[in-house]
């Protein structure tokens, strides 16, 4: 699942607004929107804050767990 989908799902699950999470991170809503829409990346510090806030590991939120199969010739 893409990072953006995971974050949007967690925000909804916790009944938050993007504005509330942006404020918790100390960034503007516009900056947060750029990050959640994949235009810019979350810093390691921001990733730690987000993961701690939701009680998850950084890996659970920010790493995609899809496996890619390679075609053998």
Domain assignment present for residue 68? The answer is no
pTM equals 0.80
Structural domain containing residue 7: 3-62
Domain assignment present for residue 69? The answer is no
Confidence at 2, pLDDT banded by 50, 70, 90? confident
CATH code where residue 51 lies: 1.10.260.40
The alpha-carbon radius of gyration of the chain (Å, integer) is 14
Confidence at 4, pLDDT banded by 50, 70, 90? confident
Q: What is the mean pLDDT of residues 5-19?
A: 95
Identify the pLDDT of residue 44: 97
Burial class for 52, CB neighbours closer than 10 Å (0-12, 13-18, 19+): exposed
Domain assignment present for residue 67? The answer is no
Total domains, the chain? 1
How many Å apart are CA 64 and CA 71, to the nearest integer?
21
Q: Tell me: the pLDDT tens digits for 52-70?
A: 999 999 999 998 765 434 4
How many H-runs (helices) and E-runs (strands) does the chain carry? Answer: 5, 0
Q: Tell me the CA distances in angstroms from 28 to 12, 42, 60, one per residue in order.
A: 19, 13, 24
Domain assignment present for residue 9? The answer is yes
């Amino acid at each position: 699942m893409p990072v953006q989908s995971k974050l949007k799902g967690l925000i909804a699950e916790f009944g938050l607004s993007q504005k509330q999470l942006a404020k918790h991170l100390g960034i503007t809503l516009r900056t947060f929107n750029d990050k959640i829409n994949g235009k810019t990346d979350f810093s390691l510090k921001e990733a730690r804050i987000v993961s701690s806030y939701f009680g998850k590991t950084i890996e659970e939120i920010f790493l995609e767990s899809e496996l890619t199969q390679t075609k053998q010739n």
